[in-house]
Amino acid sequence: MVSICVPAYKKPEYVRRLLDALLVQDYKDLEVIITDDSPNDDIKLAIAPYLTQLNIQYHRNIPALGSPKNWNAAIELSSGDFFMLMHQDDWFYDKSAISKFVEIFEKKPHVSFVFCKNTALHPDGTFVVLQAIPSLLTQLGSYPNRLLLSQVMGPPSNVMLRSSVKKKVAYDEKLIWLVDVDYNARLIKAGFEYAYLDEHLVNIGLHKDQTTEYCRENTDIMFRENIWVAQKIGPAAFKDILIYDYYWRLLRNYGIRSISDFCANKLSEADLLPVVNFMLKWQARIPSALLTIGPISKLLMALNYLLSPFKK
């Protein structure tokens, strides 16, 4: 059985669209777990017509759990051999999508999770593949932290996992912006093997109400979570020059020129890894205008990397 875990919050029309897509799937051994953070009964009323057609378990969270705690709650309630965490605004594109995921598991019993092409749908109906660095798809086993550079796996809706995974890895409830990047990287670091399906199987809905848009409008969240993730991956991760360059550009792009600039993002000096502080001290001595010139910034980063005592 496959568990479809849906952490819901308002927008019942999105939930109906997802359930409609489940009804036409050719794989029928499903359970749908809906954990509802809504302040009203709109979701409960919306799913009522589907209760005789799908195996739905509805749970109302009082008080609301918030994301991603609600994600973990939905997963914990699942009882299938496999599970997918489906955001309510995403839905299946291919009628055989679930079958195709399960088929990979049957063919490759060593695989613990499978993900498909990260394909998003704009409100105007146009599709876009959100895999800025496709080469990462073949590098993740060796360089899981490089998901910071490009989240080629996409959101949780693209991924099906064996139930055994949930006993060892859960979403970090402190994070919002990088929560799926962190989760996916930890899956790989925990030794779980993956397979990639180079097919458009899931529609990732794009709209102005997404958490993604909220974070982009509140950039301190994005900066702060990158610093928290730096603490989680630790100094050893900075041996990878691409990760080093990522954090060099993070400081530059956010105009962090001092400890006070750093702390202005609701951080403390204790959150500053020595390796990141080493970059900060360098950049503070370099005219900002020079750092905005790509080739010069890259050259300075490389020199900083070579001289850094923290990558050894």
Residue 125: per-residue pLDDT: 87
Q: Give the pLDDT of residue 242.
A: 97
Q: How confident is the model at residue 312 (pLDDT cuts 50, 70, 90)?
A: low
Mean pLDDT of 134-146: 93
Q: Measured at the alpha carbon of residue 53, what is the angle toward residues 52 and 58, in degrees to the nearest 5?
A: 70
Q: How confident is the model at residue 206 (pLDDT cuts 50, 70, 90)?
A: confident
Per-residue pLDDT at 207 exceeds 90:
no
Would the pLDDT of 216 be above 70? no
| Same domain for 56 and 193 | yes
Token code pair at residue 112: 């613990």
The pLDDT value given to residue 211: 66
Assess if residue 119 is contained within a domain: yes
Please tell me the distance from the alpha carbon of residue 273 to that of residue 262, in angstroms, as a whole number.
12
Q: At residue 130, does pLDDT exceed 90?
A: no
Is the residue at 220 inside a domain? no
Q: Is residue 77 part of a domain?
A: yes
CA 230-231-237 angle, to 5 degrees, is: 55
| 286 and 141 both lie in a single domain | no
Structural domains of the chain, count: 2
Contact indicator for 36, 8 with CB cutoff of 8 Å: yes
CA distance 277 to 85: 37
Asked whether residue 300 falls in the same domain as residue 163, the answer is no
For 292, the domain range is 234-307
Residue recorded with tokens 């994600």: 71
Percent of the chain surpassing pLDDT 90: 88
Q: Are residues 294 and 183 in the same domain?
A: no
Q: Are residues 239 and 202 in the same domain?
A: no
Is 0.85 surpassed by the pTM of this model?
yes
Res. 131 pLDDT band, cuts 50 70 90: confident
Whether the CB-CB separation of 119 and 128 falls below 8 Å is answered with: yes
- Of 147, 159, 88, the closest CA to residue 117 belongs to 159
Mean per-residue pLDDT, 148-174? 96
128 and 267 together in one domain: no
Q: Are residues 55 and 190 in the same domain?
A: yes
The residue type at 225: E
Alpha carbons 73 and 60: distance in angstroms, whole number: 11
Asked whether residue 30 falls in the same domain as residue 171, the answer is yes
Model confidence over 13-54: pLDDT tens digits? 999 999 999 999 999 999 999 999 999 999 999 999 999 999
Q: What is the mean pLDDT of residues 177-197?
A: 97
- pLDDT of 297 higher than 80: yes
Where is average pLDDT lowest: 48-62, 67-81, 202-216?
Answer: 202-216
Whether pLDDT at 212 is above 70: no
Give the model's pLDDT for residue 209.
66
* d(C-alpha 138, C-alpha 147), whole Å: 12
Q: Are residues 192 and 131 in the same domain?
A: yes
- Give the integer Cα–Cα distance in Å for 37 and 43: 9
pLDDT value of position 218: 74
> Edge to edge, what strands does the sheet with 119-121 contain?
91-92, 202-205, 119-121, 127-129
Q: Examine the pLDDT at 213 and tell me if it is beyond 90.
A: no
Is there a single domain that holds both residue 276 and residue 201?
Answer: no
Judge whether residue 199 has pLDDT over 80. Answer: yes
CATH assignment at residue 197: 3.90.550.10
Grouping H, G, I as helix, E, B as strand and the rest as coil, residue 251 is: helix
Mean pLDDT of 298-309: 95
Does residue 185 form part of some domain?
A: yes
Residue 274 forms part of a structural domain = yes
Domain match, 39 and 166 both: yes
pLDDT at 255 over 70: yes
Pairing of strands 2-8, 30-36: parallel
DSSP state of 115: E
User: Do residue 302 and residue 162 come from a single domain?
Assistant: no
Binned at pLDDT 50, 70 and 90, residue 210 comes out as low
Residue 123 burial class via C-beta count within 10 angstroms: exposed 0-12, middle 13-18, buried 19 and up: exposed
Q: For the chain, give the percent of residues with pLDDT over 70.
A: 96
302-311: long-range contacts at Cβ-Cβ below 8 A with a sequence spacing of 24 or more? 302/241, 304/248, 304/278, 304/279, 305/241, 305/244, 305/245, 308/238, 308/244, 308/275, 308/278, 309/278, 310/235, 310/238, 310/273, 310/274, 310/275, 310/278, 311/235, 311/238, 311/239, 311/244, 311/275
Q: Read off the pLDDT band of 132 (50, 70, 90).
A: confident
pLDDT at 217 over 90: no
Q: What is the pLDDT of residues 73-89, one digit of tens each?
A: 999 999 999 999 999 99
Residue 105 lies in a domain: yes
Mean pLDDT of the chain: 94
